[in-house]
Structure 1
Amino acid sequence: MHMSTRVAGVLTSLALALGGAAFAAPAAHADVTACINQVERELQGGEAPDSVRMACYVGLTGDNEQCVSGLTAAGVTNGTSVSACRVAPE
């Protein structure tokens, strides 16, 4: 019985840890989504290519300069790149 109690405790801890990770993930994802949405507005309904998504993920880490550089390399205007990268790490 002692072993089953330990297994139950480990499973409970694992479930809590995974639940916490799932709770934290949407907030981070929403920031990247805000960045991508800014770019997609400029594309007027077009879906952002993978290069834009990657640049927004870089922006999420706080590397604003690299984010802007990645977006402008993907053909996004400088003004939109700056504003999109500004919202990524929020």
Structure 2
Amino acid sequence: MTASQQLRETLLQTDEEFRRLATQHRDLDSRLGELSRQLYRTGQEEHEKAVLKKRKLQLKDRMEAILRRHSAPAAVPALEPSIRG
């Protein structure tokens, strides 16, 4: 398992927002799969599919931001220059 996969698994266990986003992303993916398997879709279903794709991308972007925030090395505070007098 890569470090990225480990972080994702850890966040699924410990970060409520990440878990909620992942659940919503999975649910949208499932619905999009249902719509894609239909041979014929109504105009309303085509619109739903487009809206769901956009929402799914938004969720993925938010999840990626959380992953980046947790994987970034801790910021090192800048040392103040010594004052010589």
* TM-score, reference length from structure 1: 0.36
Report which of the two structures shows the higher radius of gyration computed on alpha carbons: 2
Bigger RCO of structures 1 and 2 (CA < 8 A, at least 6 apart): 2
- Structure with bigger helix share is 1
* TM-score, reference length from structure 2: 0.38
